[in-house]
Structure 1
């Protein structure tokens, strides 16, 4: 549900909505003590849209995180914004 909401919001912001993908991602190196601490969502966008999604001084990204936090209730959410050309 949260990934669908984030997908809808991001597609409304970007110029290339077909390049947007939102998927849950496992956090590496997590401490088992904090296993239920946060859900991580990874947003991949076209490189031309990355600045638009992050916004000036990160305001758009912060707003997206705030909306998802409100939708999730008390669940912690972490969102990573990645351009589609980024290599790991």
Structure 2
């Protein structure tokens, strides 16, 4: 899942070397924390959050049946 998130984000940003994806696992969910360069945050969020919503939709759809719920936190 980390590779999927990085492959989606990399073409969108100016500083791909600053992409950091960390994973936190809890009892009922898995949270991926995405951190990008300060200048790239607006590109990841998009107008009215459209790009962020689209990225989250793709990530949530990639979850396998029976896995814990997945969340994507963009910082």
TM-score range, shorter chain: 0.7 to 0.9
Where does the alignment leave 5 or more consecutive residues of structure 2 unmatched?
A: none
Q: How large is the RMSD of aligned CA atoms in angstroms?
A: 1.5
Give the paired residue count: 73
Contact 2:60–2:71 (Cα < 8 Å) also in 1: no
Please give the TM-score of this superposition, normalised by the length of structure 2: 0.86
Task: Please say if 1:76 is aligned against 2:69.
Answer: yes
> Which ranges in structure 1 are unaligned for 5 or more consecutive residues?
28-34, 83-88
If each structure's strand is expressed as a fraction of its own residues, which one has the higher value? Answer: 2
Which of structures 1 and 2 has the bigger CA Rg? 1
Q: Normalised by the size of structure 1, how large is the TM-score?
A: 0.75
